[in-house]
Structure 1
Amino acid sequence: MNNNVNLLAAMAVTPSTASRQGKPASWYEVMAEAWGKTLDAKAHEIESAANEMAGGNDSPAHITQMTALAQQMGFMSNSAHTSLQSVGTALETMARKQ
């Protein structure tokens, strides 16, 4: 999970090389992209664990690990939604006041 947090932190600070019709991506887009990549990485972990379970590894320890991964994914997804919504609302408020 530390790698995912580091990726998120690095992408939020580092300017994006992505562009939209030749224009650099905004930091808000970079933040959303970082959350997406972080959630994708967690989903791949869950997928790998599920494949192991389908292959016969249905031990209680493995099932507990799958449960923990699912809980982490839920927490991260809620955090992504909350942070993006909060920043979006703040940007909207600032735009109205200008």
Structure 2
Amino acid sequence: MKNARDSGFDQHYNAQVAVSHQSLLVVATSLSNHPNDQLDALPTVDAIDPRLGQPKRAALDNGYFSTTNIEGLQGRGIEPYMATGRQSHHRSWNA
């Protein structure tokens, strides 16, 4: 993965979790070396143990937003709720 501080590369991992909205328990995990989350949504959903059942909906932040993820989730029968952009969380204060 490209190092943001200089022109070198570092070894980094990108950890993902799937959490049940009802129980707030972690139901799946995945680990990759992808530099962003976009390629990790579907493998994380696929890592959910079938004994737990297929989720009906998935809420994801804008780092996962892509046509591939939307179509992949819909193809699995999962309704995606995905942020498409980013808004500031905090008001700027001028001293």
Pair in the same fold by TM > 0.5: no
Structure with greater strand percent: 2
TM-score (norm 2): 0.28
TM-score (norm 1): 0.27
Structure with greater helix percent: 1
